[in-house]
Each structure stands twice: as structure tokens, then as C-alpha cells.
Amino acid sequence: MLSPFARTLSSAALLVLFAAGCGGAEPETPDDPSLPLKVVATTTQVADFARNLGGDRVTVHQLLRPNVDPHDYEPSPADMQAIAEADVLVKNGVGLEKWLDDTVRAAGFDGRVVDASQGVPVRGGDGEEGAGDPHIWHNPLNVKTMAATIGKAFAAADPADAAAYQANLAEYDAKLDALDAEIARKIGSIPADRRKLVTNHDAFGYYLDRYKLTFVGSIIPSFDTSAELSAKQVSDLVAEIRATGTVAIFSEASLPPKTAEAIGREAGVTVVAGEDALYGDSLGPEGSAGATYLQMEEHNTDTIVNALRGTST
């Protein structure tokens, strides 16, 4: 019996084949230098990087919508069509997109697949095969590596515009360096004994390592948001929050805050949720505080600093 994901994939693939068979006009050739490079990006983060690196020389089709958990993704017919026609497909890697191989095969994609995690030091594993923590974008220095990998792939697929991609990379690198310095400055303003984080799930390890914050625990004790806390783990987390003097629990925009709020009440600490919730697995929608990667990290940092210092936003 087919799983819901497999049924969705089969239906979407059939629609793509039907659309391809009914098309009357000759398809555009990706080798035409006057046409933008067709890029499919899996996550909201790598889609944002691709837009910054490609500028007006690429069109980017983003598979995951803002505030959608990567584990909940099911391909639409439009996604399958975009994958089938793409010149370049960019993924985060580190095992985040477990559904991608089946989707690519069903779409009949035969273009260039770019693993943006190449060259990034992975926490808790050895990368794609050995998995590990996939939330590599929460360190801006990792994003510099990811952006370089994406820019190199664009230049290989579109050599005529290689200089433009290189210029875009240099501009984005400067913004990432400025972001890194600003985050470090703001985190440095938190009293050392209050630099302790409890989050919805273990999504911020790279951020914690980079900016020297202490991880006390998470509501979901895993990189995977589908995991759940046992009653004992809840009790242990409440005890740890109290013992360490942690002052806040941070909910995430893409996850319901109910459990975090219950633990916060029991532990007697503030729960940061709603519009102030952190962006962990996904960027926010257009117009939100996390609409781009740079905005997301600025929002997360300001939220953490204000909560841990006890200041208002």
C-alpha cells in the first residue's frame, strides 16, 4: 500500500507527464544565453541564497513554503514540473530533504544537483551519508561556504554570466561578515550568567557554538521536529531550567507553542512566542521579520538578547 507521500508523488508525476505530452510549443533550451537559469531550491534558506547569488540571471522555484516543516513537505504538480525543467537544483543537504531523491526520480530531472552543505563542518555527524545536525545556516560563516558552492554551480551552468555571479557573491559575503560581527556584538551585551537557551527543538546548535551560548535543553529533544518528549524528559527539563537559572524558553514560528508554554508555566519562566518566536527551520513569509536570511538572523538575535537581558523589544 502506498504511503500518502508516495501517492502524492505518483499523482504529481502523472500530471507532469500529461502536461509535457499536451504542450504544443517547442520547449525553451536552457543553453540559450538570453534566458535566465532555471533554478529549483528546496528550502526557504537556500532559495534566498540562490536569489542573492543569481540576481536577475536566474529564476528560482522554491519547494518549501515559509513556516512549513521540511518533514511535512509533499510535492505539488507545479513543483514536479519545475524540477523536470530545471537547469540546477539546490539542496541544503545533511539529510534534511529525505524526500528529495524520490521526488527527483519521479520528475525525471537530469540536471545539476548542488549540495550546499559541501565543505561545511557538520555537528554530530559526517554530512549527507552520516547525517548530523542539518541546521547549518544558523552560523553566517557556514552560509558563506554555502553561497560559494551555489555561486560556483551557477557559473558552471552559465559560464557567460560567471563574472556577475562572482560579483554577487562578494556583495553577499560582505553582508554576511557584517551580520556575524553584529550578532557577536549583541550577544556580548548579555550578562555571561544569562546566556542560556531553551528552544522548541535542537535547531540552534551552530548559532550557540558560534556565539558562545549555553544549550540547556529543548522541548523536542532532537534535530527532527517529529520527535516528542516523554513525561520524564519534561520533568527533567523543568528541573534543569530551574537549576541553571534559565530565564526564558524560546518557541519557534513554524511549531505550535503549547508545550513550551506548559513547561514555562511549570518552570516559572518567560516563554517567547507569537510574533517574537524564533525562526528555526524556515524563513518567514514576505513582510515578516524573517522574510530573508539576514532579517531572520537579526530578528532571532534581537529576540534572544532582549529576553535574556530582560529588556523589552
At 6-24, the pLDDT tens digits run: 444 444 444 444 444 444 4
Selection from 107, 46, 45 nearest residue 75 by Cα? 107
Q: How many other CB atoms sit within 10 Å of the CB of residue 250?
A: 26
Identify the CATH number of the domain in which residue 96 sits. Answer: 3.40.50.1980
Task: Say yes or no: 95 and 162 in one domain.
Answer: yes
Strands 37-41 and 214-220, bridge-based pairing: unpaired
Spans in the chain with pLDDT lower than 70: 1-34, 126-130, 221-229, 312-313
Three-state secondary-structure class, residue 58: strand
User: Is the separation of the CB atoms in 240 and 216 below 8 Å?
Assistant: yes
Task: Supply the range of the domain harboring residue 198.
Answer: 190-309
Task: Say yes or no: 42 and 179 in one domain.
Answer: yes
Tell me the average pLDDT of the chain: 87
What is the model's pLDDT at position 224? 56
What is the model's pLDDT at position 33? 65
Number of domains within the chain: 2
Task: Say yes or no: 111 and 208 in one domain.
Answer: no
Q: Is 206 part of any domain?
A: yes
What is the model's pLDDT at position 1? 45
- Cβ within 8 Å of residue 81, ≥6 positions away: 15, 16, 19, 107
Domain-terminating residue out of 160, 183, 206: 183
Pinpoint the alpha helices (H) of the chain. 4-22, 44-54, 77-85, 100-107, 140-157, 162-187, 205-211, 231-244, 258-267, 293-309
CA torsion sign, 277 to 219 to 198 to 263? positive
